[in-house]
Structures are given as structure tokens and as C-alpha cells.
Structure 1
Amino acid sequence: MKEWKKISLFVCVFAFVREFRPIEPFYAAYLTSPAINITLIEVSRDVYSVGAYSCFVLIIIVFLITDYLRYKPVLIVDGLCGMITYFNIIGSPGILRMQIGQVFYGFFFSSEVAYFGYLYAMTEDKRYYQRITGQARAACLSGKFISSLLAQSLSLINGSVPFVELVYMSAFGMFFSTIWAFIMPSVKHSIYFHAADIESTTQTSSAIVYSPKGIESETVKAIKSAYQEKKEAVKQCDIKKGNFRKALARLWNDFKNSYSDPYVVKLCFWWALAYGAYVQVYTYINVLYTYTLDLNNDSEFTLYNGAAESLNTLIGAISAYLIGKLELNWFRVGDAFFAVGSMLAGLVLFGCYCTRTLWFIYAFYIIYGCLYQTMLTIAESEVAKRLGKDSYGLVFGFNSFIALFLHTLMTYGIVQGHVISVTTAQQFTIYAGYYTFLGLLFCGFVVKKHLTAKEKLLVCKL
């Protein structure tokens, strides 16, 4: 097997198992069930909010240390944090224990960038970057699909949601991902910080001590050996300091070059803002399901959260795959595509607020997932076409940072009610307005491009 295929296989297995968390579609239902017995308001404002703040703070740390630590240690800690997250909701935990679990979940959620960075650092032939990225994303979506489908199947077979069993299965998935991370090959050199280590080591080890007569006393040899070791230690220290400065300079140059293209900036703007709203929708859609049941006083309805999540993932993956095969001039039609797609996303999210029928909310969420994954695929592929190959992880990490910053602001201002106090259903009108704003903004880009083209045409005629 070729080396790049071997690395891709390792990462795909890790990504698949990492997303094997069957409790996720029923997380809010579990916390409000008799097993835990906290209110929906406590789930939203006291538990989930800690996870949002933790994600935002920790993604900065993860972003800075991942490349320096050469990825693998971060992948191992990622799995351990996932295990701690789920072990903290087993039994009869109090609010504080669940909040501690959410702190660890923040690291787990933030370190997704690590296995993509590992993928790029371990693949020397940059021609395969696009292919292995697609494979890793497919593995991630497949893990979510299988996980949600299994959770729903067990719920139907059992007659009710087996919450505790799903929590243990999720913890086992995290345990397996930790073990798998241990056996993954280590990164010998990273993209930025350790790129020159091998070269400097090779140069140092090639030095030969020359003695004219070839005969020296043991004392002289010992003195020379100690002196040489001290000299090499100082030299290596200087090399590492120089490498660190060079790495920071290279990182800054890659950052400036990546965001110097207006087309990339525009797509990254949509990507970061849409992703921030997606995290909010993904987090609070389960709260909306339980909120709607409570509003309808319906205690007999069978929850199909797992089925909705699995269909959301599957249809989103299929639509992303199909749109990826379309050969269109996205530079020309992309603005219109994002304008229409964003406004449709806003429309279906508004539908989540308007209806009190859970089946319709499931359907709207699936449609939203399809629209989001389709648009994200185009945004990612178009940005990747214009980036230096070493900059994929950098841009992904920075966009994630902006997205989680927005997610944190919305959590503080909307969910916790520090800016505006709304119900769970009313939150979705804000998300709808958010996507509608993005759609209108890209409509403006369409109009501007059209007017600019007309002006150029008039100038040419004159």
C-alpha cells in the first residue's frame, strides 16, 4: 500500500470512530430525563454555554500547540477528553460535574483541526491533499451517520431511548479513538515548527573529528568529547531558536498570502459566519425537539432524533458529493449560489420556529443540513484551489476560530439572555435572520458584479 493511502486509512478510521457518539442526538433529552432531571433552561444556559465558552478559549490553545507538538499527542488527548466528557454524565451528576465535562468537550470539539493537520503533515506528496481531505470528511460523516442510525434503531427496538447504554457506547467510541491514536505513526516533521529538524540533525551528525596521527590518550579523548557535546548542545539550541522564529515568520506569511485574495476572503467570510450559526443550530436543535414536546404536552411521542440526524448527515454527504462533481465556473455563479442557498437555509430555520409539529421540524433540519453541507463543499473547494497547499490547516483553523467566536457571542447574548431574552423556538428566528442576512449580502455581491461587468462593457464600446 502506498504511504499516502496508509496515512489516509489511519486518519479515516480515527475520524469515523471519533464521531461514533450515539448519545449526541438525544443529549438534551437525556439531561432532562428522570436519569438526570434538570430543566431545559439549565441545559441551555448552564451546561451547553460552558461548552461554548470552552470551545472558544481552547481552540486558540489547540491552534497554537497542535503543529508544535506534532499532532499525535493532541489526537491522544482528544480521545481522552471525549471519554471524560461522557463519564461525567454517567450516574446522577450535578450541574458542576456536567459543566466540568463540557470543559473537556470544548477541547474535544476544538481539536478536530488536529487530525486534518496530521493528515497534511504526514502526506509529503501535495497532489493528494484534495483527495485525502475528501476521504477524511467522508469518514467523519459516515461515523455520524452510523452512530445516529444505531441510536435510533436501539430506541425503536427497546421501545424507548436507552440513554445510559448510549452514553457508555459513546465513551467506548472515545476509548477506541484514543487507542487508535496511540498506534498511528508519529509525525517526524510538522508543517511549520519542525520542518528543519531533520536537515539540521543530519548536518550535525555528519561531522567527523579528525586526528592527524589517529592516536590520542583517553584523557584527551574525554575532554574533547565533553567539549564537542557542549558545543553541539549550544548549536542545536541556536538552531531550534532560529527554526522557531522561521516557523512563526512562515506562518504569518502564509496567513497574509492566504487572505490577500479578495475571492478567498469573501468565501472565508461566508464559511466562518455560516459555520458559527451551524454550531448553534446543531447544539440547540435537540433542545428544540424536547421544548416542542413539552409545549405540546406530548409524553407519548417516540423521539426520532437519531433518524433525523442520520438522514441529515447522509443526505448532506450525498448532496456534497454530487455538487462536488458539477463542473461550473463558481467564480462567476458562486455569489448567486450562496445567496439563494443562504436564504433557503434561513427560510427552513424560520419554519422550525413556526411549526409545532415535530415531524416538520425534523424535515426542516434535514433540508438545512443538505443546504449547509452543499454550500460548505463549494466554499472549501474554491478556497483550496487558491491556497498554497501548506495553508489548508491554517485557514481551516482560523475560520473555525472566527466561527466559534461568533458561537460564543450568540451563546452569551441570546442563549443566556445577556443581550436579548428569547425562548428556544425564538432562537431559531435569529438563526433564520442570520442566514437571510448572508443571503442578502451575497445578493449585493451579485448586483455589484453585474454592474461592474456592464461598466466594463460600456468602456470597451467607447
Structure 2
Amino acid sequence: MERAGGNWLYPTTLLCICGFFSNVRPSEPFLTPYLMGPDKNLTEQQVNEIFPVWTYSYLVLMFPIFLATDYLRYKPIIVLQGAALVITWLMLLYAQGLLAMKFLEFFYGMVTASEVAYYSYIYSVVDSNVYQKVTGYCRCATCVGYTVGSVTGQILVSFAEVSLFHLNVISLVCVAIGFIISIFLPMPQKSMFFHRVKGDHNGLKIEYDGVKSEEEESASMMPLNCDNADNMLNEHLAEPMDSTSDATETTNKMPFKRICVVLAMLWKTFLQCYSSWPLLCWSAWWALSTCGYFQIVNYIQILWERIRPSQNTQIYNGMVEAASALLGAVAAFVVGYVKISSIWSEVSLLVFSHVVAVSVFLMDIVQNIWVCYICYIVFRIIYMMLITVATYKIAANLSVELYALVFGVNTFVALVLQTLLTLIVVESSLLNLDIFGQFLAYSVYFGAVAALFLIFGVYNIVKKYREKPRPRENVSVRLDCRNEVTPKTS
């Protein structure tokens, strides 16, 4: 069946423009100097209290926004994201005090939690044969927007001597443009779970080994403990309700039944997705590494400010952020076109995970701003390269429509881990480490992640070595198993 909005160019162009302007934020690389400068006059300890609010709000809002994204069909959540960005920068300009800045971080957590709508919207308004193309365009737009914003901010600060306050004014104008454009996005007519078209199961097809038929895949993805599940889905998720039905039943029973069916389907889909061992391993790396990545990106400006205070010397945060984002995007692009065998991908994962741990350790120990800049660039390049490999390995086991679910679950686990790490390392009730102590703890964390996957790598090598002498036996077992299957009668 043809998707709503068969012409992919119009919605893709609008979404890319929206994503571009929403990410052109010249002031973002200078957020910590702005908060600790004369405009906000906060201390380092107060800034340390502000940033964890983003982690907590992102974690709390992520699952409800994920459900609301599907139920409201994507566009309203993209508009909400744009509105939250505008509110964030209005507060950054005019709000004062520690409490106001914490509320600001809450709205920014809403922004990041709503990203799932931006990256999954396009699949509901274009044909499946252009998925890969439009995905690349949309992700490229956000990356280019962030790079342009960072470079612009650095040029304005270094050469035009524009104040950080006016940089935030420029950021506000850009995110407001993105918000206005989001209003004109076409409204999708369907979604993956709540608004599915009758007989459409493509969004629930898992491609583990390429041996199941579409009919078997669709049947295997039905909700748990539901008899005649296909009829339930077609009745309650796809077809509109009868206008003559009782009002009380319409407002109370039907929405509750729809939600129950969708939650059951989500749980069933979750179990089947993560029953694949390769997908589970790469998802574990995704969650563990993303947790540490969020912490580094969140607190790196405080480290830079401690090593080289912006009030006394010239800083180059914007150029470093732009260079790391651009080189990371190039590395991710190159990796996407390089064929990597399973063994070599695991070896590269182990090697580069150790390089990440060493980079974070050098940031903390050397305490030289140029070493810190270089190590940060190396850190981001490696992370973006490896996350691309992880994305490819995970996507190899899934149909495109399930990306949002699996990537959302991985990000949710990363946020849970980040919350625990923040509570232990940052909060005053526990270790309450200063910024150098925090980065030492983060280097130990990445070292532990590298050691964990070293163990997994050795285990996989030993397992493959033991299975290697018996290839004929494995083939015969598979053939016998296939011979036992009784073919369907017409």
C-alpha cells in the first residue's frame, strides 16, 4: 500500500530545513562560560548541580514521549520539540538564578527526548524504497547545522568579539525558525503501533537470519496472550470507531484497550528483537558507551573552563566542537562504505574502546588545554565511528521501522546507567568529586567497558574455535531440522 505523502521530496526537504535550523546554535559550545560569566554569575558547583537535571528529565520523559510520538503521529512531538527549544533559549537569555536554570535543563531534556519523533517521522510519510536516502539526508542536515553553528559561534567570538549574550540571541532566532517550519510538516496518516493500516505488518518484521516468511514474521509479532490478535489489531489500531457506538465505551474502554494491545505488542516486539545474541551484544556496547559519551559531552566545558578560564584567555570551544562533529561525521560516513567482517569489527571495537579510555584519562591527567582539545576530538571521532558500526550491526537484524524502538530502548538503558553514574560521581550525597575527579572516574568507567568487551571477544573467539572442527555435523543437523518441517497444504 502506498504511504501517505507519496512525494518524498517535500516532507524530506521541510524536515531537513527544520533539523538544520534547530541545530544551528552558535552559543552551545560556550554554555558553561556563559553560565559562569557575568550574565548568569553561577559558580562551578552550581553548574554541576544544573547539568544532572537534563539527565533525570531525559530519563523520565523518554518513554511517555515515545508512546505519545506514535499515538499523536510524530508531527505534534516535533512541534513540541521546537517549542521546548524556544523556551530553553528564552530562559537562557532572560531567566536568572539556580532554580530557573534547573527548569531550563528540564525543557532541554524534553528536547532531546523528542528526537525520536524527528528521526522516525520520515518513515511514515515516504515510500519504503527511499528510506535509506531520506535517513541520510535528515541526519546530515542535523550534523551540518551543528557544525555551522559551532563554527559561526567561534568566528563571532574570536574575530567580531560578539558577546555570549548576543550569541544566544542568534541561537534563539535559529531555533525559532526551525519551530515555525515544523508547523508546516504534513501530518502522517499512520504510525507503527497505534495507527496501523489494516493488513500492514511491514513495521513488525524482524529479519534475524532471512529464513522466515513474511507471514510467519507477522504472526510471530502479535501481542502476547491475545487470541485472534490480527483481528484485534485491525479493529482497534487501524479502523476508525463506529460513530454510533456508546460515548462512554468510546472514551473509556476503547482507548484503554488500544493502549493495552500496543503495550503488549511493544513487549512482544522487545523480546523478539533482543533474542538475537549479536544484537544484544552490540546493544549492550551502545548503552554502556553512550552513557559515558553523554557524561563527557555534558561536563567537558567545565573541564575546559577549569584548565583555561574564558575570562582571562581566548578559548576555542566552538572550533573544537565543530572539528570533532565534522571529522566524526566523515569517519562515520567512511565506515558506512567499508565492508568489515564480524571478527574484525569485534577487534576494532576492543582496540578503539581502549583508545577511548586512554583519551579520557589523558584529558584528566595532563591538564593542558591543547592536549584536552585533541583528546576530545579523538574521543568523539572514535565514538561516532563505533556507534555507526554498532548501528549497522543492529540494523542488520531489524527492519527499518523497528529502528526507533530498539535504538530508543538502548538510549533508555544508557540514560538509566548515566543517572546512576551521575548520582555516584557528581551528586553531593555520595562521592561529590570535583571535575578532575569526575573525569578520572569516567576514564575508569571506559576502561571497565573495554575490559568487559575484551572478555566477550575472547569468549567468541574460543567459541568459534571449538565449533570450527565440526562444520559437517552442523550442516547435517540443519538439514535434518528443515526436513522435519511439514509443508503447508494448499
TM-score by length of 2: 0.82
Which protein shows a greater Rg? 1
3-state SS of 1:418 partner: coil
**Structure 1 segment 44-443 matched on structure 2, within 5 A:** 44-45=48-49, 47-91=50-94, 93-125=96-128, 127-159=129-161, 162-196=163-197, 230-231=244-245, 243-294=258-309, 299-329=311-341, 331-443=342-454
CA contact (8 A) 1:320 1:377 kept: yes
More helix by share: 1
Shift of 1:31: 0.5
What residue is the counterpart of 1:222 in the other structure? Answer: none
Match of 1:26 among 14, 23, 30: 30
CA contact (8 A) 1:31 1:37 kept: yes
Shift of 1:376: 0.5
CA–CA distance in 1 between the matches of 2:240 and 2:180? 36
Question: What letter corresponds to residue 230 of structure 1 in structure 2?
Answer: T
CA contact (8 A) 1:189 1:197 kept: no
CA–CA distance in 2 between the matches of 1:203 and 1:370? 47
Shift of 1:371: 0.3
Question: What letter corresponds to residue 294 of structure 2 in structure 1?
Answer: V
Shift of 1:131: 3.1
Shift of 1:243: 4.6
CA contact (8 A) 1:117 1:393 kept: yes
Call closer, same or farther: CA 1:354–1:241 in 2, change over 3 Å.
closer
CA–CA distance in 1 between the matches of 2:156 and 2:284? 40
CA contact (8 A) 2:336 2:388 kept: yes
What residue is the counterpart of 2:230 in the other structure? Answer: none
Call closer, same or farther: CA 1:460–1:75 in 2, change over 3 Å.
closer
CA–CA distance in 1 between the matches of 2:93 and 2:57? 21
**Number of aligned positions between the proteins:** 433
Call closer, same or farther: CA 1:451–1:2 in 2, change over 3 Å.
same
Question: What letter corresponds to residue 98 of structure 1 in structure 2?
Answer: M
Question: What letter corresponds to residue 142 of structure 2 in structure 1?
Answer: C
Once the two structures are superposed, what CA deviation does each residue of 1:289-344 show, in whole Å capped at 9, x if it has no partner?
Answer: 111125xxx85320100000000100000010011110122x22222111111110
Shift of 1:266: 0.4
3-state SS of 1:135 partner: helix
Call closer, same or farther: CA 1:459–1:31 in 2, change over 3 Å.
same
CA contact (8 A) 2:27 2:171 kept: yes
Q: Percent identity?
A: 28
Shift of 1:42: 0.7
Call closer, same or farther: CA 1:244–1:352 in 2, change over 3 Å.
same
Shift of 1:11: 2.2
Shift of 1:418: 2.9
Bigger shift: 167-176 or 363-372?
A: 167-176
3-state SS of 2:38 partner: coil
Question: What letter corresponds to residue 133 of structure 1 in structure 2?
Answer: T
Call closer, same or farther: CA 1:7–1:254 in 2, change over 3 Å.
farther
What residue is the counterpart of 1:218 in the other structure? Answer: none
Question: What letter corresponds to residue 143 of structure 2 in structure 1?
Answer: L
CA contact (8 A) 1:414 1:422 kept: yes
Question: What letter corresponds to residue 77 of structure 2 in structure 1?
Answer: V
Bigger shift: 336-345 or 429-438?
A: 429-438
Unaligned stretches of 5+ residues in structure 1:
206-227
Call closer, same or farther: CA 1:39–1:395 in 2, change over 3 Å.
same
Shift of 1:118: 1.0
CA–CA distance in 1 between the matches of 2:287 and 2:243? 50
3-state SS of 1:419 partner: coil
Shift of 1:368: 0.5
Call closer, same or farther: CA 1:204–1:5 in 2, change over 3 Å.
closer
Shift of 1:242: 5.4
CA contact (8 A) 1:255 1:391 kept: no
Shift of 1:203: 7.5
3-state SS of 2:8 partner: helix
Call closer, same or farther: CA 1:301–1:454 in 2, change over 3 Å.
same
CA contact (8 A) 1:152 1:305 kept: yes
Call closer, same or farther: CA 1:364–1:452 in 2, change over 3 Å.
same
3-state SS of 1:190 partner: coil
Call closer, same or farther: CA 1:204–1:373 in 2, change over 3 Å.
closer
Call closer, same or farther: CA 1:293–1:253 in 2, change over 3 Å.
same
What residue is the counterpart of 2:228 in the other structure? Answer: none
Question: What letter corresponds to residue 313 of structure 2 in structure 1?
Answer: F
* Root-mean-square deviation over aligned CA pairs: 2.6
Once the two structures are superposed, what CA deviation does each residue of 1:179-216 show, in whole Å capped at 9, x if it has no partner?
Answer: 111000001111110114898799889xxxxxxxxxxx
Once the two structures are superposed, what CA deviation does each residue of 1:150-193 show, in whole Å capped at 9, x if it has no partner?
Answer: 0000011234x621111111222221121111000001111110
Call closer, same or farther: CA 1:242–1:59 in 2, change over 3 Å.
closer
Question: What letter corresponds to residue 76 of structure 2 in structure 1?
Answer: P
3-state SS of 1:195 partner: coil
CA–CA distance in 2 between the matches of 1:3 and 1:256? 35
3-state SS of 2:92 partner: coil
Shift of 1:458: 4.5
3-state SS of 1:193 partner: coil
Unaligned stretches of 5+ residues in structure 2:
200-233, 474-490
Call closer, same or farther: CA 1:229–1:141 in 2, change over 3 Å.
closer
Is 1:454 aligned to residue 455 of structure 2? no
CA contact (8 A) 1:23 1:151 kept: yes
CA contact (8 A) 2:27 2:168 kept: yes
Call closer, same or farther: CA 1:176–1:458 in 2, change over 3 Å.
same
CA–CA distance in 1 between the matches of 2:173 and 2:64? 26
Shift of 1:358: 0.9
CA–CA distance in 2 between the matches of 1:279 and 1:204? 42
CA contact (8 A) 1:339 1:441 kept: no
